[in-house]
Structures are given as C-alpha cells and as structure tokens.
Amino acid sequence: MAVVGIDLGNLASKIGVARRRGIDVIANEVSNLATPSLVSFTPRQRLIGESAKTAETSNFKNTIGSLKRLIGRTLNDPEIQEIEKKYINAELVDVNGTVGIRVKYLGETSEFSATQLVAMYLAKLRDTAAAELNQNVSDVVIAIPGWFTDVQRRALLDAAQIAGLNALRLINDHTAVALGYGITKSDLPETPENARNVIFVDIGHSDYSVAVVAFSKGQLVTKASAYDRHFGGRNFDYALVEHFAHEFKTKYKIDVMNNPKAIFRLTTGCERLKKVLSANAEAPLNVESIMNDVDAASSLKREQFEEMMSSLLDRITVPLDAALKDSGLTIDQIDSVELVGGCTRMPSVKERIQKWYGGKTLSFTLNQDEAICRGATFACASLSPVFRVREFNIYDMTAYPVRVTWSQEAGNPDEDTELVVFPKGNAIPSTKILTFHRAGPFDLEASYTEDANIPKGINSWIGKVAIKGVQKPASGDFATVKVKARMNLHGILNFEEAYTVEEVEEDETYTVGEGEEKKEETRKVKKIRRKDSLKLVTGFTGLTEETRNTYQEKEGTMFADDKLVMETEDRKNALEEYVYDIRSKLDGRYAPFVQASEKEAILSATQAAEDWLYSEEGEDATKSAYVSKLDELKKLGDPVAFRWRESEDRARAASALREVIDNFMSLAQSEDEKYSHIEQADRTKVIELCATNKQWLDDNLYRQMEKAKNVNPVITTAEIYKRRDDVQFTSAAIMNKPKPKPKTEVPPPTTEAPKQEKTDVEMEGEEQEPKITEMDVD
Ligand SMILES: Nc1ncnc2c1ncn2[C@@H]1O[C@H](COP(=O)(O)OP(=O)(O)OP(=O)(O)O)[C@@H](O)[C@H]1O
Ligand SMILES: [Mg+2]
C-alpha cells in the first residue's frame, strides 16, 4: 500500500511518498519536483501537468489553472468574477450550480466543473506517484488552505473520489508544515507549559497563511491562524504586468491589457523578472512577439519594484498581527518565525516580516518548496497501517465558528433557536452532543456564523438534518433527543446520529460506616439511559452519489481515451521508426543477410508504408491500423533480422554448450574421492550424452559455415541453449547424487533433552515482508 502526500499548489503541486528510509518528494515524467497545476484540452486529448504547460501558449483558451481557487465556488461569486477571472484564460461557466469552464475538447464544446478539473489533475498526480512506486496509489493526504470552508473541503473530497483516491485526511497547509517541523525536532520542550511557540508563514502563488503553533514533546497545538486569501506571487506578477503594459502603450503603441494572449506572455516574462530581482539589483524583461509582431523589452531595478509594490507589501503584517492576537501570545513569546512558500524568497517580503518580528532573525529550517508536501506525507504515513511513525499528536483547529439553528418547539417558549456548536479555534476532530426536548420530528441547520468571515461569495449554509421518528413520550411533554455533531479530521461537519434518552430509576449500592461498622446499603438513583435510535435524513453540499458516479465514469472514459491516443501515437512512432531503421540497416549490418529479392520487397513495402504515413489517412489512423502495418513490414524484415542476430549470437551459444560439455566430461572421468560413489554405468551415460552433443554441435556449426548468410540458418541459438540445458540437467542429476552416509554407532541415550537443531541455512523463496515498517523521520 502506497503512502502519498500531496501539496496542491496553485501554480504547481508536489507529491511526497513514504519509504522505509524516509520521505521523498518525487520527480515527475520530466524530472521536475513540482508539477504545473494545469489541465489543457485539445482536439485529440487532455493534457495534464507538464504537457499542459507545454501546450499552454498555443492553447491558452483551453488551458485552465487556478484549480484550487475554483473548486467549491460558484460562477457569480464576486471573488471569482473580480479576482480569479484575471488569472484565467478559459471561459468560466456555471456547471450544476458550481463554477466550471467551457472548452473545445475533441472538436466539440465541452463543459467541466471545477471538481472534475481537480479530479483530472489529482488523477495525473496519482499516476506520477504510481509510476514512481511501481504500485497502485489510493491512500493520500491532501494539503489545502486552512481557510477552506466546508463546501470547498467536500468538493475536494469529491474530486479525490472521482480520481479513485481515498483521502485519509485533508490537512491544513500550515498544519502539514508544522507536523513536518515537529516530527523532525528532537529537542522539543518536555511539557506543554513550556511549549516552543513557532509562527509559520507560507506565501505561495495565490495565498498567504500564518499559523501560531505550540510544540512540546510529541505534540503540536495550533493556537491561531490567519490568512490573506489573495496575496501571493501572482499579485506581484500582475502588478508588474500592469506596469509594463502601461509602459508599452507609449513605447510600442500596443494595448497589452486588451489582448489576453499578450497578457499571458507578459505575465511569464514578469514572473521571471520578479525572481531575478530576488537575487539581483536589476533585471531585464524581454518578451518576444508580445503582440503585433513587437518584441518588447524593458528592465526594472529592485528599488523601483519595491516602491511599486509598497501597498501590497504593507499587507504582510495584517495576518501576522491577527494570528498573534488570536493566539493570546506576545511577540516575545514567539521562539521562531519559519518561512515557507516560493514568495518568501523575495527580499522585501522577508524584510517586512523581520521588521514585524522586532528585527530578529527569521528561520528557514524547512525546505521552502517541500515543507507542506513532506508534512502531508507524514500525516498519511501516520494514518496508514503500512508504516509505524513516531507518535506525534496534532491538535488542529477550525478557522470559522459553526452554529446550529432550529425553529422553536411549540409549547417551549424558553427554548433557544441557535447554538454556536464549534466556536472559532475549536479542535479538529471534535464531537459534540446536542440535547433537545421535543414532542415530534424536527430539523437542524448548520451554518457559519455571520461574523465568521468566510470568503464573501461562499454561502454560509453548511447543511441540514431532519431528525425523524421523535414521539411525545407517555410521561411528560417532550422526549429528550441527543444529536451527535462531528467536525471530522477533514474539517467537515456531519450529523452522525440521533437518539432519545430516558430517565430511569436504578438501585445503587453504596458503603456506609467504617471498620467494623462498615455495611452496604442501596438507594434509588436517577440515570439517563439511551433509548431509541432515530433516523436522520441529512443534506449537505457536495455531489450526490449519482453525479459523483457519472463524473467518475466520464473520468474513466476520458482517461481511457487519452491512453488510447498515447498508445496510438506510440504505435505510429514505432511504425515510422521501423521504416527508417530497417532501410538503413539493409545497407548496413543486414546487407550480407538479405537476398536481393527480399531487399526489393522490403524497400517497396517500407516506401508504401511511408507514403501512407504521410497521407491524410495515415496521419490520423487507428492504433490497430498502425499495428497491422508494422506487423506486415516485420513479416518481411524479421527473417533478415533473425539471420543477423543468430550470426551474432551463435558463437556465444556454442561456447556455453561447450563449457557445460567439457565440465561434465571431466567430472564423469574424475577420480576425485567426491565422485567415487558414482557408478561406472552412470558415468558412461554422462560421457555419451556429452559426446553426442559435442558431435551435434560440431556437425551443425560446420554445415552452417558452408551455408550462405542470406538464407535461414541450419542451427539456431535457441536449439543450442536447449541442448545446453538438457546436458546440464541430466548430467547434474547423475553427478550430484549424494554420497551414501557411512553407518555410525547410535550414541547411548542421555537424560538431557535434545537440543533444537540450529541451522544457519537461509530459506529461499518468498520473504515475509513485515506488515508494519518503522520509518526514519530525520
Ligand atoms: N526566487 C523567487 N523570488 C520571488 N518569487 C519567487 C521565487 N521563487 C518562486 N517565487 C514565486 O513563488 C510563487 C510560487 O510559490 P509556491 O510554489 O509556494 O506556490 P503554490 O504552492 O503553487 O501556490 P499556493 O500556495 O498559492 O497554492 C510563484 O509566484 C513564484 O513566482
Ligand atoms: Mg503552496
């Protein structure tokens, strides 16, 4: 069973796998440690990750990124319309009440929901991990922003399920980072009272999060978290784009901002420039053929850049202040500030954070790019039965308060109608039992509170539950109903069960008096006992099972189609390659092995195949068409190739047979004591077998020498190896016969128990793999 952790990044994602010696962040098919978070649709297939990135420039309207920004959102969400749209080139549409895209795929207009897009992408990451591990991947832990709401988390779980993944946990990005930090530290304080308080700052491409975490031996407690959901590298890139677009308006008389392709090209250039400025005082910008055949060029100094970004940079302290305040700690109580995420490489970003931290040195203990991924993989390892990892408790918390509301029970005017069940900062996972006094069935609704500060466009409604079968009890007006609400490991709310309870009187024995006086007495006590289980009908966001199954089927079909396209391409290439390969070999190494008529037939067949390949039909044919064309050519070419290969290998095969013959010939005639028990008749058998085969080999090799090279050989290497094996097998069976044991006297019996015989022979064959393996964490 594979153990995999995924850092789902906005720009690129990383995959971690757990191995016995520790965690590795793995490389993808082009050896990159980060896979672009992109899906591209073409007339032939879907391209995902690296191939989508390659296709992006020429196919940018049908290529979609920002996957994690879209999932769980609706089309008319102001954050989608006002912010995300700026970074997206594909057309956004509504798909079943959620945001999706409209693209050209396989020559048709198709729509996909964001959940489906994330599923496609996760399936690609799954295959990358499976290829690396050489086994199927199912269990994963996926890291997500801590500010994700219930609807986003559910959508992500749906996506994982569509991709055939079993998400053991959705872990908050900062919690993954904290776990990766804590688990590798051997010097954490012994008790929570003297915990080490660390602030983790992650600034990525789109997202900025701060978490205050208290570490002590074997545990981490998230004390507070705060976010700027729209702050990351892309904000700097976009500001640069606007700056240069403005410059180019006068410089080149072009309007970049009204040309999506030009914006796209300029963004790529600006991102590069931004990175160069992190290490240099000045950086050039060159965008070839930005639009209207203009090659745009400019440059920027770091000071200018920082000046330009000052209002953006001013936002850096906001989440830091908020998280610190929520944690109830003062800045002096913070032992270190750890930075991760690509954007924290910017000197100006580091400066601002350092200034906030009173000028103290910032820490970069963790790998900036891999920290989230490593933490998620550790989390997966600790949830999976495959590995035994060092015990480390994670006390995470909810980012938003959740309340439950209901309508008042008639006849109970004092009843409240709402309750904040999971306040901000409540631990995850967590279960709460709610008690109601009811005369009949009733409904509950769960939502985020008005002041929860969830993203504007996301509905605060989480879900509802109808509690069925509640009846007025025989005694009293109301039944006492308990409802179990659980915030699970993913940070998702569920109503898990409901039941009635009743008060019963029970006898309780207790002791009175002391010493001699001591005696037992009974008394009546009232106890609450569980009575009937009640039926729940729940309604939450997320896909219905039916839709999820449909999406899963669609994903399966698209996956199979892509695979077929790839295999077809592969067979086409194989055919093309064969045409050129055999032609050149006919004039090279195959020349002595081919007859003139054969050569003519092969050349004309390869010519026909080549013409067909470049015809309209051959350009875009089926996999089976390429396969059968190749088979036809091989039928002609294989005999020639066979003759050449045989002539290359014959001598090696012959000497392998000779070696076995010589060996047994000499053993059969050996006077060594070891073989003294082998009967003469048996020895003769071996000698005869060796002699016959030697004769056969010599005769045939001689006949072969007489033969022309361009006809089929009289003797094949396969035959030679078969005879070698026969001689080996038959002769070894005779010569390795064990020597009869000399008769020994039976020792007199002793009173000692016989000792268990100890062998130091290793057993061959299947090795029992330990089910649970220890994993290094350092
Ligand atoms: N040396 C550098 N200087 C400045 N910015 C950099 C540097 N290296 C990377 N970046 C920026 O960091 C961002 C990518 O960071 P990261 O990989 O952490 O993002 P992500 O995880 O894909 O996004 P998110 O966390 O928002 O989902 C990009 O905007 C990139 O340009
Ligand atoms: Mg990130």
Model confidence pLDDT, tens digit, residues 447-499:
999 999 999 899 999 999 999 999 988 888 899 999 999 999 999 999 999 99
The ligand minimizing its distance to the Cα of 33 is 1
> Rounded to the nearest whole angstrom, what is the distance from the C-alpha of residue 710 to the centroid of ligand 1?
63
Helix axis angle for 596-613 and 545-586, nearest 10°, is 140
> Rounded to the nearest whole angstrom, what is the distance from the C-alpha of residue 204 to the centroid of ligand 2?
5
Specify the residue with its C-alpha closest to ligand 1, atom 8.
Answer: 342
398-543 and 544-736 have identical folds:
no
At residue 387, the pLDDT reads 85
Q: Report which ligand 1 atom has the smallest distance to the Cα of 274.
A: 4
At residue 1, the pLDDT reads 84
Q: Report which ligand 1 atom has the smallest distance to the Cα of 233.
A: 29
Sign of CA dihedral 198, 199, 203, 204: positive
Q: Which residue shows structure tokens 């959102």?
A: 73
Structure tokens at 638: 């294989």
At residue 752, the pLDDT reads 45
Low-confidence spans in the chain with pLDDT less than 50: 750-771, 777-778
Cis peptide before 592 (omega within 30 of 0): no
DSSP secondary-structure letter at 673?
G
Residue 206 Cβ contacting ligand 1 at under 6 Å: yes
Q: Report which ligand 1 atom has the smallest distance to the Cα of 236.
A: 29
> Rounded to the nearest whole angstrom, what is the distance from the C-alpha of residue 205 to the centroid of ligand 1?
5
pTM of the model: 0.84
The ligand minimizing its distance to the Cα of 278 is 1
Q: Report which ligand 1 atom has the smallest distance to the Cα of 279.
A: 1
Structure tokens at 369: 């790019």
Residue 344 Cβ contacting ligand 1 at under 6 Å: no
Residue 10 Cβ contacting ligand 1 at under 6 Å: yes
Q: How far apart are the first and last CA of the chain?
A: 22
- What CATH number labels 1-164? 3.30.420.40
Residue 13 Cβ contacting ligand 1 at under 6 Å: no
Q: Report which ligand 1 atom has the smallest distance to the Cα of 7.
A: 21
Closest CA to 720 of 644, 642, 669, 652: 652
> Rounded to the nearest whole angstrom, what is the distance from the C-alpha of residue 174 to the centroid of ligand 2?
10
- Ligand 1: which of 343, 346, 364 to mutate, most ligand atoms within 8 Å of CB? 343
The ligand minimizing its distance to the Cα of 341 is 1
**Chosen CATH of 398-543 out of 1.10.1740.110, 3.30.1740.10, 2.60.34.10, 2.102.10.10:** 2.60.34.10
Residue 372 Cβ contacting ligand 1 at under 6 Å: no
At residue 367, the pLDDT reads 94
At residue 517, the pLDDT reads 81
DSSP reduced 3-state for 563: helix
Residue 69 Cβ contacting ligand 1 at under 6 Å: no
> Rounded to the nearest whole angstrom, what is the distance from the C-alpha of residue 337 to the centroid of ligand 2?
17
Structure tokens at 775: 């994993």
- What CATH number labels 544-736? 1.20.1270.10
> Rounded to the nearest whole angstrom, what is the distance from the C-alpha of residue 7 to the centroid of ligand 2?
7
> Rounded to the nearest whole angstrom, what is the distance from the C-alpha of residue 387 to the centroid of ligand 1?
32
- Ligand 1: which of 205, 280, 338 to mutate, most ligand atoms within 8 Å of CB? 205
Residue 271 Cβ contacting ligand 1 at under 6 Å: yes
Q: Where are the domains of the chain?
A: 1-164, 398-543, 544-736
Q: Are 181 and 337 in contact (CB under 8 A)?
A: no
Residue 302 Cβ contacting ligand 1 at under 6 Å: no
At residue 747, the pLDDT reads 55
Residue 274 Cβ contacting ligand 1 at under 6 Å: yes
pLDDT tens digit sequence for 109-120: 999 999 999 999
Q: Are 146 and 537 in contact (CB under 8 A)?
A: no
The ligand minimizing its distance to the Cα of 372 is 2
Give the whole-angstrom CA distance, residue 703 versus residue 691: 18
Residue 370 Cβ contacting ligand 1 at under 6 Å: no
Residue type, 768: Q
Closest CA to 676 of 725, 727, 742: 742
